[in-house]
């Protein structure tokens, strides 16, 4: 392995995040600094891609704000990420669901992943 990558991996601690993937609806709480104040803002939407690996990994979330689609890219190793909650697990067949941008209304639904329990 590259010695620079080894040093970076030793210095950066892995975040304790839930296991989410593309198609999941998640809620991200992240810290915003305004002057000397700090507040937490929530962003809830569908994960349309995960990109990168290691400490440069990012994920993109898309939500509809009124009639306007809003996308935001979050680094996985960001110190400003407070927590991630999985609202709904989605079932998609692609790693990047950019076709989701053109869909509106009922066409913009994602099938929910079926979970089977023994019982």
Q: What is the mean pLDDT of residues 73-96?
A: 92
Q: State phi, psi for 102 to the nearest 5 degrees.
A: -85, -10
Q: Single out the residue of 76, 46, 78 nearest to residue 58, CA to CA.
A: 76
Q: State phi, psi for 8 to the nearest 5 degrees.
A: -65, -45
Secondary structure of the chain: what % helix, strand, coil (to 5)? 20, 45, 40
Token representation of residue 38: 């700090």
Q: What is the mean pLDDT of residues 48-63?
A: 91
Domains, in order of start, for the chain: 3-98 (2.30.30.790)
Q: What is the mean pLDDT of residues 22-31?
A: 94
Q: Please give the pLDDT value at position 55.
A: 81
Token representation of residue 84: 């991630």
């Amino acid at each position: 392995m590259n010695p620079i990558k080894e040093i970076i991996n030793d210095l950066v601690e892995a975040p304790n995040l839930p296991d989410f993937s593309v198609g999941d609806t998640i809620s991200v709480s992240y810290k915003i600094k305004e002057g000397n104040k700090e507040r937490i803002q929530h962003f809830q939407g569908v994960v349309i891609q995960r990109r990168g690996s290691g400490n440069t990994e990012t994920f993109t979330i898309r939500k509809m704000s009124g009639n306007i689609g809003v996308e935001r890219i979050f680094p996985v190793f960001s110190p400003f990420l407070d927590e991630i909650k999985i609202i709904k697990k989605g079932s998609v067949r692609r790693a990047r669901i950019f076709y989701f941008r053109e869909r509106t209304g009922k066409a913009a639904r994602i099938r929910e992943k079926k979970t089977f329990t023994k019982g």
